[in-house]
């Protein structure tokens, strides 16, 4: 198609002309008057003056040409359900959901929190919200009541949409008790809760508050709810993510920029074609699920598979069976899932007809070379494309863009900076740009961030500026908080986070949040949580805690009991996803003389590495205790 270097250079040097062209990939009710307003850095406004609607571009726009083509393919190996919705049927379901939300009082700008398992109604809910100009906030179903409560409080939703239960590995996971507890904990109370009853777990509806979805849907079978045209800069959704503090950040996305960014990524990054099928194995609770289970493929006129279930149930061939059955062209998953599959019978990779599959995209965590090689060989040399991005960016920052120009992948590298991203590596101490090959620096992006990236942190512009734009000395640049190097060919290699964020099986978690949860146990005085390398999950959380009352902790059984209690606290407050793999008890934590926790040193010894320079350490015996605990 062209030359990637020129394509990228044009996106930076001739930014507005480049994005004006991409804006033609989507429908506008009113065309934008200004492509990018960067008069108040670092706040970028894209396609100013334009009016559009995300749901229109994902659904309605396709009715003329592909009404009877599959749009949403729901597959649950948990409940043995499989149902395909054409664009026409999806359109009808979304309008029914939108009509229900309207009945519940939802209007443009209202927030709607979605706490749901991977079911088709979750997709209807998201699309119905943006159809009305309401701002959805999907909370990952694996999060428990405390995590959910902080998000309810911050987003202050008028309505919450939920379900009785999810299911994992054949076991019912009740959502409703966690939701009720979260609402009780939260200072903000939603006016209504819309409940999708899957009849998996009994529950008692809260009188006057809880509304039954099936009953309401039956009233609105023929609903016609037009899209509400919104300004390009109108927020489409917020999605909470973890950072350095214990308080999650509501990443706020616009409408026009996001629609254009996803529309452009379909041909250039994913080579997804209208009429094809996209299978993204993420969860709607994460950014990958927002962009590449729901919005991206639908904007691109593709069918998208929404899968509820494990990759190894009924057996390790389930995903490949779906590829064969639905003629999947583009697949998107995470390295952890591939590491799980690697333990299964390799014959499962060759059992099915995978001829439709063009490429497998992997993101969310580092893709290690053995895993990349295993899957690449197993899939007979199909393209395996590592891509790097963040909740904040909404779509990839680094990747090979085969839709622009075919390029080889390099093991261990997510490729080059994508069009629109002016990526620079900088020295964290001096702020100086590092232009030489293989120099380690912080991966930064010069403003304006391209379309689709976060506008701000919900309700907290100051935190947005301070968190992301003020960390590099002397420069207003966006920090990804990732270390990286770039080789002589311009390929980047990600080396890990610069902050206290850890990545467990592709799930981004803040160690501070876990520490705060553990500290709420009555017998915990202080705790440090670090991420430790794990062959399957990439990283796991490990906790080192000081008990208030150590008198009972003299024997291993008592320590195990307290460890179990601490894990339970994390399970019930944050969810099992955040549970530390181990909780060790110590009498002191390694700190600097000024009292700052030496997390890097703890992490190093927990991974059996040399902790490096310890001259600033107050009490070396504290680190020694950790070394001994790890040795067991
Ligand atoms: O540390 C990087 C890691 O995941 C972080 C972002 O996580 P999250 O906000 O959940 O968004 C995931 C979107 C794919 C990054 O700061 N990360 C993401 N992709 C990669 C990666 N690390 C290495 N290689 C990747 N491909």
Distance between CA atoms of 36 and 199, rounded to whole angstroms? 49
**Which DSSP symbol is given to 581?**
S
Last residue of a domain, one of 423, 446, 480: 480
Structural domain span for residue 578: 505-631
Higher pLDDT, 520 or 617: 520
Both 440 and 573 in one domain: the answer is no
Cβ-based burial of 184 (10 A; exposed 0-12, middle 13-18, buried ≥19): exposed
Report DSSP state, residue 586.
E
- Are 461 and 512 in the same domain? no
Instruction: Classify residue 457: in a domain, yes or no.
Output: yes
Percent of the chain with pLDDT over 90: 92
Report if residue 380 sits inside a domain: no
Give the pLDDT confidence score for residue 545 in this predicted structure. Answer: 97
pLDDT of the residue at 616: 82
Averaged over 377-384, what is the pLDDT? Answer: 92
426-445 pLDDT tens trace: 999 999 999 999 999 999 99
- How far is the centre of ligand 1, averaged over its atoms, from the C-alpha of 32 (Å)? 32
Residue 321 in any domain: the answer is no
Q: Is the pLDDT of residue 305 over 90?
A: yes
CA–CA separation, 300 vs 297, rounded Å? 5
CATH number of the domain where residue 627 is located? 3.30.300.30
Is 478 close to ligand 1, i.e. is its CB under 6 Å away? no
Specify whether 526 is located in the same domain as 414.
Answer: no
Region at 389 (left for phi over 0; alpha for psi -120 to 50; beta for the rest): beta
Closest to 181 measured CA to CA, from 140, 159, 137, 150: 150
Pair 425, 550 in one domain: no
| Position 632 pLDDT exceeds 90 | no
Within a domain: 493: no
Query: Is the same domain home to 563 and 461?
Result: no
- C-alpha 48 chain-centroid distance: 27
Nearest CA to ligand 1 atom 15: 390
Same domain, yes or no: 468 and 519: no
- The answer, yes or no, to whether any atom of ligand 1 lies below 6 A from the CB of 85, is no
pLDDT at position 620 is 84
Average pLDDT over residues 539-567: 94
Indicate the number of domains in the chain.
2
Index of the ligand 1 atom closest to the CA of residue 506: 10
- pLDDT of 615 reads 82
Domain boundary among 410, 445, 480: 480
Averaged over 73-86, what is the pLDDT?
98
User: Ligand 1 centre from 469 Cα, in Å?
Assistant: 19
Which of 494, 496, 506, 577 for a ligand 1 pocket mutation test, highest count of atoms within 8 Å of Cβ?
494
Percent of the chain whose pLDDT exceeds 70 = 100
Q: What is the pLDDT of residue 468?
A: 97
pLDDT of 1 higher than 70: no
Adjacent-strand bridge partners of 238: 137, 252
Q: Which of 272, 300, 293, 278 is nearest to 123 (CA)?
A: 293
Scanning 14-142, the segments in alpha helix (DSSP H) are 15-23, 54-58, 63-66, 87-103, 120-132
Residues 222 and 266 in one domain: yes
Section 154-169 average pLDDT: 98
- Band of pLDDT at residue 2, cut at 50, 70 and 90: confident
Mean pLDDT of 510-532: 95
Give the mean pLDDT of 548-553. 91
Strands 456-457 and 416-417, how do they pair?
unpaired
Residue 397 Cα to ligand 1 middle (Å)? 10
Q: What are phi and psi of 492, to 5 degrees?
A: -95, 155
Q: What is the β-pairing status of strands 477-486 and 582-586?
A: unpaired
62 falls within a domain: yes
Tell me if 409 CB under 6 Å of ligand 1.
no
For residue 296, the CA-to-ligand 1 centroid distance in Å is 18
**Pocket test residue of 364, 385, 486, 499 for ligand 1, highest count of atoms within 8 A of CB:** 364
Residue nearest to atom 8 of ligand 1 (CA): 390
* Bridge pairing between strands 303-308 and 277-280: parallel
Based on the fold, state whether residues 204 and 302 are members of the same structural domain: yes
Residue 77's φ and ψ, nearest 5 degrees, are: -90, 0
CATH number at residue 263: 3.40.50.12780
User: For residue 492, what are its two tokens?
Assistant: 């980047």
Mean of pLDDT values over 225-236: 98
Going by C-beta distance under 8 Å and a sequence separation of 6 or more, which residues neighbour residue 558?
552
**Nearest-angstrom CA–CA distance, 221 and 39:** 47
Atom 3, ligand 1: residue with shortest CA distance: 365
Please indicate, yes or no, if residue 319 is contained in any of the structural domains.
no
pLDDT score of 617: 84
Q: In the numeric block, which tokens belong to residue 504?
A: 């467990």
Residue nearest atom 6 of ligand 1, based on CA coordinates: 390
Answer yes or no: is the C-beta of 494 below 6 A from any ligand 1 atom.
yes
- Given a contact cutoff of 8 angstroms between Cβ atoms, the answer to whether 444 and 434 are in contact is no
pLDDT tens for each residue of 472-514: 999 999 999 999 999 999 999 999 999 999 999 989 999 999 9
- Which band of pLDDT confidence, cut at 50, 70 and 90, is reported for residue 244? confident
Give the tokens for residue 498. Answer: 């610069």
Residue 356 in domain: no
**CA 427 / ligand 1 centre spacing (Å):** 21
Residue recorded with tokens 């093991």: 411
Domain assignment present for residue 330? The answer is no
Q: Identify the band that residue 519 occupies on the pLDDT scale cut at 50, 70 and 90.
A: very high
Res 245: pLDDT: 79
Dist. CA 60 → ligand 1 center (Å): 32
Residues 468 and 514 in one domain: no
Over range 514-524, report the average pLDDT.
96
Q: Which residues contact 137 (CB under 8 A, 6 or more apart)?
A: 111, 112, 113, 114, 151, 155, 157, 237, 238, 239, 240, 250
Q: Which of 396, 485, 503, 531 to mutate to test the pocket of ligand 1 (most atoms within 8 A of CB)?
A: 503
Q: Say whether both 116 and 10 belong to one domain.
A: yes
Ligand 1 geometric centre to CA of 363 (Å)? 6
385: Cβ below 6 Å to ligand 1? no
Same domain (yes/no): 535, 600: yes
Q: Is 288 in the pocket of ligand 1 (CB under 6 A)?
A: yes
* Residue where a domain stops, chosen among 480, 496, 517: 480
Average pLDDT, the chain: 96
Mutate to test the pocket of ligand 1, among 508, 511, 531 (most ligand atoms within 8 A of CB): 508
Q: Answer yes or no: is pLDDT of 540 > 80.
A: yes
| Cβ of 283 below 6 Å from ligand 1 | no
For residues 259 and 152, membership in a common domain is answered with yes
Mean pLDDT of 322-336: 98
384 lines ligand 1 (CB under 6 A): no
Q: Which residues of 25-37 are buried (b: 16+ CB within 10 A; e: fewer)?
A: bbebeeebeebbb
Please, which residues bridge with residue 85 across strands? 72
Write the DSSP assignment of 354-378 as a string of letters. Answer: -TT--EEEEESS---HHHHHHHHHH
Our answer on whether the CB atom of 507 is closer than 6 Å to any ligand 1 atom is no
Nearest Cα residue to atom 26 of ligand 1:
388
């Amino acid at each position: 198609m062209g030359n990637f270097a020129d394509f990228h250079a044009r996106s930076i040097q001739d930014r507005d002309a480049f994005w004006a062209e991409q804006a033609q990939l989507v429908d506008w009710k009113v065309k934008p008057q200004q492509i990018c307003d960067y008069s108040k850095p670092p706040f970028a406004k894209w396609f100013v003056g334009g009016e559009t609607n995300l749901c229109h571009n994902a659904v309605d726009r396709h009715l003329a040409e592909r009404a009877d083509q599959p749009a949403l393919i729901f597959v649950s190996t948990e409940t043995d359900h499989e149902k395909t919705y054409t664009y026409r049927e999806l359109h009808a379901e979304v309008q029914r959901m939108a009509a229900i939300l309207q009945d519940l009082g939802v209007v443009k700008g209202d927030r709607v929190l979605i706490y749901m398992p991977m079911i088709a109604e979750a997709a209807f809910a998201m699309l119905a919200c943006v159809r009305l100009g309401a701002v959805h906030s999907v909370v990952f179903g694996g999060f428990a009541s405390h995590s959910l409560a902080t998000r309810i409080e911050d987003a202050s939703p008028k309505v919450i949409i939920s379900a009785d239960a999810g299911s994992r590995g054949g076991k019912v996971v009740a959502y409703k008790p966690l939701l009720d507890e979260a609402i009780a904990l939260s200072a903000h109370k939603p006016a209504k809760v819309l409940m999708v009853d899957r009849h998996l777990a009994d529950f008692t509806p809260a009188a006057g508050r809880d509304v039954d979805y099936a009953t309401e849907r039956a009233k609105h079978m023929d609903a016609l709810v037009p899209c509400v045209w919104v300004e390009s800069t109108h927020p489409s959704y917020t999605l909470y993510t973890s950072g350095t503090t214990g308080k999650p950040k509501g990443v706020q996305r616009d409408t026009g920029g996001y629609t254009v960014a996803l529309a452009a990524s379909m041909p250039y990054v994913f080579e997804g074609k209208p009429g094809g099928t996209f299978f993204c194995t993420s969860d709607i609770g994460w950014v990958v699920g927002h962009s590449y289970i729901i919005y991206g493929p639908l904007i691109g006129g593709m069918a998208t598979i929404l899968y509820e279930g494990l990759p190894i149930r009924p057996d390790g061939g389930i995903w490949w069976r779906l590829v064969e059955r639905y003629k999947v062209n583009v697949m998107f998953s995470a390295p952890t899932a591939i590491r799980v599959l690697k333990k299964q019978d390799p014959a499962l990779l060759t059992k099915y007809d995978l001829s439709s599959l063009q490429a497998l995209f992997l993101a969310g965590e580092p893709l290690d070379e053995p895993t990349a090689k295993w899957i690449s060989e197993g899939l007979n040399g199909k393209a395996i494309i590592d891509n790097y991005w963040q909740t904040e960016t909404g779509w990839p920052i680094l990747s090979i863009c085969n839709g622009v120009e075919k390029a080889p992948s390099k093991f261990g590298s997510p490729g080059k900076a994508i069009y629109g991203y002016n990526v620079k590596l900088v020295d964290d101490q001096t702020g100086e740009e590092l232009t030489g090959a293989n120099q380690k620096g912080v991966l930064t992006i010069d403003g304006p961030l391209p379309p689709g990236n976060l506008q701000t942190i919900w309700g907290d512009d100051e935190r947005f500026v301070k968190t992301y734009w003020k960390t590099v000395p002397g420069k207003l640049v966006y920090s990804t908080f990732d270390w990286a190097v770039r080789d002589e060919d311009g390929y980047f290699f990600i080396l890990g986070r610069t902050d206290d964020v850890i990545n467990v099986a592709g799930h981004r978690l803040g160690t501070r949040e876990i520490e705060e949860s553990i500290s709420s146990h009555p017998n915990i005085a202080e705790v440090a949580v670090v991420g430790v390398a794990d062959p399957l999950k990439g990283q796991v959380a490990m906790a080192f805690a000081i008990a208030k009352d150590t008198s009972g902790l003299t024997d291993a059984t008592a320590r195990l009991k307290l460890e179990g209690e601490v894990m339970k606290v994390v399970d019930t407050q944050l969810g099992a996803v955040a549970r530390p793999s181990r909780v060790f008890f110590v009498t002191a934590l390694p700190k600097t003389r000024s009292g700052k926790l030496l997390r890097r040193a703890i992490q190093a010894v927990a991974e059996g590495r040399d902790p490096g320079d310890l001259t600033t350490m107050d009490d070396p015996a504290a680190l020694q205790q950790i070394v001994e605990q790890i040795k067991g």
